[in-house]
Structure formats: C-alpha cells, structure tokens
Amino acid sequence: MMRLKWVPLLAVVLGMGGWVVTTTLQAQARSSDANITMMDNCADDDPAYDPFGGCPEGAPFPGSNSYTGDVSVAEFFALLFSPLAEPGHVIGHPSWRNEPSYISIRAGRHVRVTNRGGRVHTFTKVETFGGGFVPPLNGTMLPAPECVNPAGLEFVRYGGSQTLTGLEAGLHQFQCCIHPWMRGAIRVN
C-alpha cells in the first residue's frame, strides 16, 4: 500500500517527460537550420584547467544540468598523441569533437553550430585542414593559414552559437583553430 501513493506522482513525471520530448521534436521540426554541436568533456572540478581560463568557459544556460565534464587536463594531454602513431602526429582527445562531423544540406540552408563543451572553440572554414594557432596542440602539423591570426577568428563560448550562411554548392571544410582535430565537413547540394 505504501507504494501506491507514489503512482500518481510517477504518472505526472512520466507525463512531463512525454511533453518535453514532444516539445523538443516540434522545435526541431520547425527549425530549418541544420545543427552541429561542438563538444568536449573538460572537467570543471580539475583546477589544472585554471591556467587555461578554467572550465567550463562562460556560464551554463539557466536551469541547464546537461554539462558534466569528466576529462582531466592530464588525460587531455595523454591522448593528444599516441605511441602507435608517428612521433608528433596529433590524434587529440576524442571528447573534443564536432557532432555530427559531416552533414549534407541543400543550397540556401543555414547551419547552426552550438558549443555545448566547456572550452571555447572555433568552427573556421579552411581550404585545407591543418594546425591551429596554439603550437603545443599542433604537434608536427603546420597551421592552416585561416587559423594563424586569432584576432580575425570567431570564437564560440559555452552556450554560444555561430550560424553559417551563404555556403555555395560543394564540399566545405571546417576546423577548430585551437584543437585542430575538431574537424567538420559540410556538403552543399
């Protein structure tokens, strides 16, 4: 009998869950923008991030509890290179990523790139993939020319977004000018 009194509450919670899912799907269906999410799992409880500006960058959305970083600075650098690859060849921590990293869109559609990670990132269009403007994160890679001048870059902080418009037909390559293994490609048909 004790359990029965929780049944109505459970029903309310389940009902709300259904409402949230439905609302989200409708919001996505209404938006004509394709979406790419910048992600990383930098651990905000690791003080070793403090010299790099802390983690997460900026403040979470009010009410948001979706951000849970669990990658320490030590792990980030441990996975920057691999003993199975050539010395100096950057692999990069897989948690620093764009999802999806490849999309196809129709001409005229916009692409919205949103940062849900804890660090600042860029989604910079490059002619050819290369390194960024932070030499220790490039390994032996040469910087992409588009990444060399940080003052000319658009940075996306946590919770922020960048909208790509006017992409012409063809394949476009993008990368983070800080973490150069964070790549993306958009094909416009």
Please report how close the Cβ of residue 121 comes to Cu ion at its closest, in angstroms.
3
Please report how close the Cβ of residue 16 comes to Cu ion at its closest, in angstroms.
35
Q: Which is nearer to Cu ion, 81 or 109 (CB)?
A: 81
Stretch of residues binding Cu ion (CB under 5 A), selected from 16-24, 102-110, 154-162, 177-185: 177-185
Separation CA 174–CA 97 (nearest Å):
12
CB 173 within 8 A of CB 128: yes
Q: Does 176 bind Cu ion (CB under 5 A)?
A: yes
Stretch of residues binding Cu ion (CB under 5 A), selected from 20-28, 81-89, 98-106, 181-189: 181-189
Phi, psi dihedrals of residue 62, rounded to the nearest 5°: -55, 130
Handedness of CA 154, 131, 166, 120 (dihedral sign): negative
27 CB-contact burial (10 Å; exposed 0-12 / middle 13-18 / buried 19+) = exposed
- Binding residue for Cu ion (CB under 5 A) from 93, 97, 116, 179? 179
Q: Give how many residues touch Cu ion by CB under 5 A.
A: 5
Per DSSP, the three-state class of 62 is: coil
**Of residues 108-127, those binding Cu ion (CB under 5 A):** 121
Separation CA 181–CA 183 (nearest Å):
6
Q: Does 178 bind Cu ion (CB under 5 A)?
A: yes
Phi, psi dihedrals of residue 34, rounded to the nearest 5°: -75, 150
Please report how close the Cβ of residue 46 comes to Cu ion at its closest, in angstroms.
17
Please report how close the Cβ of residue 137 comes to Cu ion at its closest, in angstroms.
9
Q: Which chain residues interact with Cu ion by CB under 5 A?
A: 121, 176, 178-179, 182
